[in-house]
């Protein structure tokens, strides 16, 4: 026996080690850099272009539009198209972080190194959520600054201190971690890349437009989806502006935040529990 | 514990106790029991599909047994919050993410187990991947390089128990020689080294203890020497310019002699020592006198023949 194999005191298993390891894993994949970088550029460009279009068209807008331009300005701060891109990017990153382990077989190496799978998956959840929150904050913040700077050219830009402006930025930023966790949870359940992508797109992007708000129960389903929750949260003049119809079954801002929180929590629990007992 | 009676070097023991794994109607491993002791290289042999990988995965806590238990040092691996310092394993060289560099891969694993970062460079140097290769994406590695990375992963935690599933696949002759030396050294240090293979020839110069399974059941658990003795009697190849004289002399001594070609005889029933003596007594010049090493392979084939045949007809 050499000294190396005698029972040296083993270091205590610390959760922070798992966080650090998951962070190394996330940042050491070049594909993730590309996906995040291209996604951020696309999102910011998309929003800025919407502001540019309003800037160009502003002289042709009628009086009603001009008096209610606040909702226009804040809609440009984070457009629906950009939100869809963010949902796609975030849910893909979340899914990749676990499905990538299963499809490559790395999951066996990972679980052999860390038999405490629940701790490992919790670390993954925390790291993915943290990284995507920063990512969402960056894209939403940059979009807000750029779009309002463009609209300032018409004297219509809004400051972050304006009522509702901060909510638009925060809700758009948090859409990223919510969808990333949803992707992670679905990925942990499904474990196959193509199927996970299809389900992600179906649940996070397709269902929100597909489900009608005509009946009470379908409206409930619709309102419980993250994309619709986001849409409610960024609609600062909900029910007060003349351009859109007020839905029969109304939702509240608080309801929107609750939907965000519930999805994040449920997805995190699924991700942690789903992998614990299954053979790899 | 019956194993207290066994000679132990103090290192941890791998204990498999009535281990069973069923997948639907298929039984991959059936009532398998064996013990792997420290200080030896123990070969884990069986034909393809015999249940070796499933057993190793159960040992590592990756696959949940249907019944029975597989323990390392008295505990199932799932009981250890972090595994690398208890058991090091190379299961499949492909169990890595091709998008990461070897260094990043090991760095993340080391960090998760609170192993200092300098250990990453140590194991990379040990397996011959230090420097530029360690910075390259693993996806571009050859199978041999991936095996080396897998071995580095197993060594990372400097564990007392090491599992290797088919570690010689894809290695060049120099690599095979190196791996054998490494296994001997690890065992010499008192560690428990458990190496699976479906080729007896790979184990011949590597293992000193053998666990042989077929169709998920234990066939033999004994030393390599005992195992070899089960095989057909050793054949000795003799090459001589005077084959006729020698063949007659050997037959007179009771050996079975089969002429192979004009100069070569295949002899069974006599040891090479005795054949040499007989040749000397009859003043026959010998150009070659070799004991056939194929006997181990033959013993293995003989033992596993039934299980292989059975498996071929069985849906998996």
Taking contacts as CB-CB distances below 8 angstroms, the residues of chain B near A109 are 91, 95-96, 109, 153
The answer to whether residues B44 and B103 belong to one domain is yes
Residue of B nearest to A20 (CA): B111
- Classified as helix, coil or strand, A122 is helix
> What's the rounded Cα separation, in Å, for the pair A256 and A231?
9
User: A144 with A168: CB under 8 angstroms?
Assistant: yes
The answer to whether residues B262 and B170 belong to one domain is no
The structural domains of chain A, with segments of one domain joined by +, span: 15-274
User: B237 with B295: CB under 8 angstroms?
Assistant: no
* The pLDDT value given to residue A240: 77
The answer to whether residues B258 and B277 belong to one domain is yes
Taking contacts as CB-CB distances below 8 angstroms, the residues of chain A near B113 are 17, 113-114
- pLDDT tens-digit map of A235-259: 988 877 777 777 888 899 999 999 9
- Classified as helix, coil or strand, A90 is helix
* The pLDDT value given to residue B233: 66
pTM across the whole model: 0.85
Domain residue limits at B41: 2-230+299-312
Closest among B216, B201, B161, B158 to B26, alpha carbons compared: B216
Backbone angles phi, psi at A32, to 5 degrees: -70, -40
> What's the rounded Cα separation, in Å, for the pair B272 and A222?
85
ipTM reported for the complex, 2 dp = 0.92
Decide if B189 and A31 are in contact by the 8 Å CB cutoff: no
In order of B10, B76, B239, B272, B288, the CA distances from B279 in angstroms are 49, 59, 11, 10, 12
The answer to whether residues B220 and B248 belong to one domain is no
List all residues of chain B from 82 to 101 with a beta carbon under 8 Å from chain A. 82-85, 87, 89, 91-92, 94-101
> What's the rounded Cα separation, in Å, for the pair A165 and B158?
55
Q: Angle A231-A236-A239 (CA atoms, 0-180°, nearest 5)?
A: 90
The answer to whether residues B222 and B256 belong to one domain is no
**Low pLDDT (below 50) residues in chain B:** 1-8, 309, 311-314, 316
Q: Among partner residues A6, A13, A108, which is closest to B62 by beta-carbon distance? A: A108
In order of A25, A26, A139, B123, the CA distances from B107 in angstroms are 9, 12, 30, 11
**Number of folded domains in chain B?**
2
> What's the rounded Cα separation, in Å, for the pair B299 and B311?
19
* The pLDDT value given to residue B232: 60
> What's the rounded Cα separation, in Å, for the pair A52 and A25?
39
Q: Angle A27-A31-A36 (CA atoms, 0-180°, nearest 5)?
A: 75
A60 touches chain B (CB under 8 A): no
- Classified as helix, coil or strand, A252 is coil
B/e letters for A56-87, b = 16+ CB within 10 Å, e = fewer, are eebeeeeeebeeebbbbbbbbbbbeebbbbbb
Order of strands, edge to edge, in the sheet holding B26-36?
B26-36, B14-23, B67-72
User: CA of B124 to nearest chain A CA: how many angstroms apart?
Assistant: 17
> What's the rounded Cα separation, in Å, for the pair A124 and A20?
10
Selected residue of A2, A3, A4, A5 to mutate for chain B interface (largest B Cβ count, 10 A): A5
- pLDDT tens-digit map of A81-105: 999 999 999 999 999 999 999 999 9
Q: Among partner residues B83, B112, B160, which is closest to A17 by beta-carbon distance? A: B112
Taking contacts as CB-CB distances below 8 angstroms, the residues of chain B near A1 are 9-11, 189-190
Closest among B89, B46, B48 to B70, alpha carbons compared: B89
* The pLDDT value given to residue A172: 98
**Low pLDDT (below 70) residues in chain A:** 1-9
Neighbour count for residue B33 (Cβ, 10 Å): 13
The answer to whether residues B64 and B177 belong to one domain is yes
Residue of B nearest to A116 (CA): B81
> What's the rounded Cα separation, in Å, for the pair A54 and A73?
8
A159 touches chain B (CB under 8 A): no
What is the residue-averaged pLDDT of chain A? Answer: 93
In order of A90, A114, B45, B61, B129, the CA distances from B85 in angstroms are 35, 10, 26, 15, 22
First to last CA, chain B: 36
The answer to whether residues B183 and B143 belong to one domain is yes
The answer to whether residues B134 and B81 belong to one domain is yes
B233 touches chain A (CB under 8 A): no
Taking contacts as CB-CB distances below 8 angstroms, the residues of chain A near B143 are none
Decide if A1 and B79 are in contact by the 8 Å CB cutoff: no
The answer to whether residues B76 and B212 belong to one domain is yes
Taking contacts as CB-CB distances below 8 angstroms, the residues of chain B near A112 are 60-62, 77, 83-84, 87, 89, 91
* The pLDDT value given to residue B145: 96
- Please enumerate in sequence order all residues whose Cβ is within 8 A of that of B286, keeping only pairs 6 or more positions apart, or say none: B238, B239, B240, B276, B279
In order of A23, B77, B86, B287, the CA distances from B111 in angstroms are 10, 19, 15, 59
Closest among A93, A114, A75 to A39, alpha carbons compared: A93
Closest among B49, B70, B48 to B61, alpha carbons compared: B70
Structural tokens at position A159: 């400051």
* The pLDDT value given to residue B254: 86
> What's the rounded Cα separation, in Å, for the pair B170 and B65?
30
Decide if B98 and A109 are in contact by the 8 Å CB cutoff: no
* The pLDDT value given to residue B123: 97
Segments of B103-254 assigned E as strands: 161-165, 192-197, 209-214, 217-223, 235-239
Please report the DSSP string for B236-263 in residue order: EEEE-TTHHHHHHHHHHTT-EEEE-SSS
**Exposure of A167 by Cβ count < 10 A (0-12 exposed, 13-18 middle, 19+ buried)?**
middle
B11 touches chain A (CB under 8 A): yes
Decide if B82 and A115 are in contact by the 8 Å CB cutoff: yes
């Amino acid at each position: 026996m050499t000294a190396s194999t005698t029972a040296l005191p083993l270091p205590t298993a610390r959760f922070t080690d798992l966080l650090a390891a998951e962070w190394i894993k996330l940042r050491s994949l070049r594909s993730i850099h590309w996906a995040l970088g291209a996604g951020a550029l696309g999102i910011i460009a998309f929003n800025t272009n919407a502001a540019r279009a309003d800037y160009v068209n502003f002289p042709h807008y009628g009086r009603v539009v001009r008096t209610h331009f606040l909702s226009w300005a804040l809609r440009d701060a984070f457009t629906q198209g950009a939100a869809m891109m963010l949902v796609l990017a975030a849910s893909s990153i979340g899914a990749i972080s676990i499905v990538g382990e299963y499809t490559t077989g790395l999951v066996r190496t990972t679980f052999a190194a860390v038999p405490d799978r629940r701790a490992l998956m919790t670390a993954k959840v925390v790291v993915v959520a943290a990284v995507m929150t920063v990512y969402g904050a960056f894209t939403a913040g940059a979009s807000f600054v750029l779009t309002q700077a463009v609209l300032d050219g018409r004297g219509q830009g809004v400051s972050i201190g304006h009522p509702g402006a901060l909510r638009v930025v925060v809700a758009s930023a948090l859409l990223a971690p919510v969808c990333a966790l949803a992707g992670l949870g679905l990925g942990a359940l499904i474990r196959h890349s193509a199927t996970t992508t299809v389900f992600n797109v179906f649940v996070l992007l397709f269902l929100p437009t597909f489900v009608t708000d005509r009946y009470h129960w379908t409206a409930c389903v619709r309102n419980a989806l993250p994309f619709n929750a986001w849409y409610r949260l960024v609609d600062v003049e909900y029910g007060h502006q003349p351009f859109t119809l007020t839905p029969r079954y109304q939702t509240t801002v608080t309801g929107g935040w609750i939907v965000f929180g519930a999805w994040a929590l449920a997805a995190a629990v699924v991700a942690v529990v789903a992998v614990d007992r299954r053979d790899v | 514990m019956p194993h207290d009676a066994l000679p132990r070097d103090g290192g941890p023991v791998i204990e498999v106790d009535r281990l069973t794994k069923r997948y639907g109607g298929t039984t991959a491993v059936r009532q398998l029991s064996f013990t792997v002791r420290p200080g030896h290289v123990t070969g884990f042999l069986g034909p393809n599909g015999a249940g070796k990988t499933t057993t190793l995965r159960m040992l590592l806590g990756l696959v949940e047994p249907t019944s029975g238990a597989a323990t390392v040092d008295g505990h199932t691996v799932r009981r250890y919050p972090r595994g690398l310092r208890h058991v090091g394993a190379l299961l499949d060289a492909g169990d890595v993410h091709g998008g990461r560099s070897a260094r990043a891969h090991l760095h993340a694993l080391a960090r998760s187990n609170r192993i200092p970062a300098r250990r990453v460079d140590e194991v990379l140097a040990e397996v011959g991947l230090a420097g530029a290769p360690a910075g390259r994406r693993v996806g571009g590695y050859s199978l041999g390089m991936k095996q080396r990375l897998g071995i580095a992963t197993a060594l990372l935690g400097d564990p007392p128990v090491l599992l290797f599933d088919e570690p010689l696949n894809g290695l060049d002759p120099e690599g095979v020689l190196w791996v054998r030396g490494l296994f001997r050294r690890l065992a010499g240090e008192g560690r428990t080294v458990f190496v699976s293979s479906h080729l007896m020839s790979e184990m011949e110069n590597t293992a000193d203890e053998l666990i042989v399974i077929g169709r998920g059941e234990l066939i033999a658990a004994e030393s390599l020497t005992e195992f070899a003795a089960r095989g057909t009697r050793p054949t000795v190849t003799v090459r001589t310019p005077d084959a006729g004289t020698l063949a007659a002399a050997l037959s007179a001594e009771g050996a079975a002699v089969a002429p192979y070609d004009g100069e070569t005889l295949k002899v069974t029933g006599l040891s090479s020592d005795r054949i040499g003596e007989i040749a000397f007594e009859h003043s026959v010049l010998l150009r070659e006198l070799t004991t056939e090493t194929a006997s181990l392979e033959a013993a293995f084939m003989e033992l596993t023949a039934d299980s292989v045949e059975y498996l071929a007809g069985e849906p998996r």
